[in-house]
Amino acid sequence: MPVNLTEVARHAGVSLATASRVLNGSARSPAPDITERVKAAAEELGYVANAQAQALARSTTGLVGLVVHDIADPYFSAIAHGVQEVALQARHQVLLAGTDLGGEDGTPRSAELAAVTAFISYRTDAIILATSRFLEEDPVLAKNLERYIQNGGKVVTIGDTSIPGAKVLTVGNFDGARDLVDALVTSGLSRFVILSGPHERNTARSRVEGFTSALERRGLEPLVVVGGEFSSRGGFDATLECIDTLGIIAGAKSAESPLCILAANDVMALGAITALRSRGLQVPDDVQVAGFDDIPTLRDYSPGLSTYQLPLEEMGRLAAGLALAPESVLESRVTGAVVLRESAGTPTLAPDGA
């Protein structure tokens, strides 16, 4: 129904080939007067090239697929923002899929497979996986991706997951978690609990390993480790479970150093603080809390959340950069920095502080 190149060509009194050369970047460029005529015709008819047809003819689509877990989660939306930025510069469009909504059987796992399959079907030039599940556990997904790569597609995973032939944006989850705990211990904390998040997500796993590793080195170990979703609700529930297990109640002054909750990400940490509040516990006076990511949301949050700061947008940019870069570039790496705020580990606010 829309105007096509043939009509434009006829309207301009030139051949299809010429019209194509004028309108859609080619090595050869027709004479000035012809160029002018064709452009005028296109403008007049309101011609907009059919990207599908171009994709078919050029065998490249200008599409990049991004699969996240939950676009409404600040972690993922920040990354998505970064991806968009680079995609825009590279004149690519981004196809977005979320896995939290579930696929055929309602699981994120099936959703991820469905998303990847769809992207492959649309022949996206690259696929960025920000979901960070263990791909080894999903042979079907892995096989599809491998074939996709063999056929010239590019795959970038964010996090430590690796699949053969895929590029990877390595994130210092383990080291960051370790650094964070080191800083907290140094500030005088010694009693920790861990909200470990979902076990199947390797970012969560790496962070938890970092936490425990750092504790071990100091001869400490977490009082409790509880799982839960990577969400505010997950953090909330896990925290209630935690403080009930430990029998923590408001007003009970103890001689020990305050308890510190290590959450596998900021969103959980915020849920944790809400949970503490609901029980009348003060942060950081009664219980301290630390997160991971430094999501943009924290800018307006009080008390300031101690966390490990990751350059989320930059991660999106880097991932997209890898996705659109030549074959040869295979890896990028990001690290972050410990940021101590009021919620945990800042000596000035610790009970026994100045």
List residues near DNA by CB under 7 A. 1-2, 4-6, 13-18, 20-21, 23-24, 26, 28, 30-31, 34, 47, 49-50, 53-54, 56-59
Q: Which is nearer to its own copies, 35 or 274 (CB)?
A: 274
Q: Say which entry of DNA, its own copies, none residue 214 contacts (CB below 5 to 8 A, set by partner kind).
A: none
Find out whether the peptide bond into 258 is cis, omega within 30 degrees of 0: no
Q: Which is nearer to its own copies, 88 or 250 (CB)?
A: 88
**Shortest distance (Å) from residue 285 CB to its own copies:** 15
- CA dihedral (284, 313, 150, 109) in degrees, to 10, reads 40
135 Cα distance to chain centroid: 16
Among 199, 68, 205, smallest CA distance to 131 is for: 68
Among 87, 7, 84, 90, smallest CA distance to 42 is for: 7
Which residues would be at the binding site for its own copies (CB under 8 A)?
Answer: 1-2, 46, 48-53, 55-56, 59, 61, 70-74, 77-78, 80-81, 84-85, 88, 93-98, 101, 111, 117-118, 120-123, 143-144, 147, 150-152, 232, 270-271, 273-274, 277, 296-297, 299-302, 313
CB 176 within 8 A of CB 308: yes
Q: Say which entry of its own copies, DNA, none residue 20 contacts (CB below 5 to 8 A, set by partner kind).
A: DNA
Q: Which is nearer to DNA, 63 or 226 (CB)?
A: 63
Kindly write down the DSSP assignment for every residue of 194-243, as one continuous string: EE---TTBHHHHHHHHHHHHHHHHTT---SEEE---SSHHHHHHHHHHHH
In the three-class reduction of DSSP (H, G, I as helix; E, B as strand; rest coil), residue 39 is classed as helix
Distance CA 354, CA 338 (A): 22
**Shortest distance (Å) from residue 299 CB to its own copies:** 6
**Shortest distance (Å) from residue 150 CB to DNA:** 14
Q: Which is nearer to DNA, 56 or 249 (CB)?
A: 56
Beta partners for residue 171, in sequence order: 334
89 Cα distance to chain centroid: 20
**Shortest distance (Å) from residue 178 CB to its own copies:** 26
Q: Say which entry of DNA, its own copies, none residue 289 contacts (CB below 5 to 8 A, set by partner kind).
A: none
Q: Which is nearer to DNA, 123 or 233 (CB)?
A: 123
**Shortest distance (Å) from residue 90 CB to DNA:** 17
Name the region of 293 (left: φ>0; alpha: ψ -120 to 50; beta: rest).
left
Instruction: Please name the residue that has the structure tokens 């059919």.
Output: 50
**In this structure, which amino acid lies at residue 116?**
V
CB 295 within 8 A of CB 312: yes
Q: Which is nearer to DNA, 70 or 125 (CB)?
A: 125
Listed in sequence order, the residues at least 6 apart from 243 whose beta carbon sits closer than 8 Å to its beta carbon are 249, 275, 276, 279, 281, 287
Distance CA 155, CA 163 (A): 9
Q: Which is nearer to its own copies, 28 or 299 (CB)?
A: 299
Q: Say which entry of DNA, its own copies, none residue 90 contacts (CB below 5 to 8 A, set by partner kind).
A: none
Burial class (CB in 10 A: 0-12, 13-18, 19+), 204: buried
Q: Say which entry of its own copies, DNA, none residue 248 contacts (CB below 5 to 8 A, set by partner kind).
A: none
Q: Which is nearer to DNA, 21 or 317 (CB)?
A: 21
**Shortest distance (Å) from residue 129 CB to its own copies:** 16
**Shortest distance (Å) from residue 334 CB to its own copies:** 17
**Shortest distance (Å) from residue 30 CB to its own copies:** 22
Among 225, 222, 312, smallest CA distance to 266 is for: 312
**Shortest distance (Å) from residue 56 CB to DNA:** 4
Q: Say which entry of DNA, its own copies, none residue 237 contacts (CB below 5 to 8 A, set by partner kind).
A: none
Q: Which is nearer to DNA, 2 or 106 (CB)?
A: 2
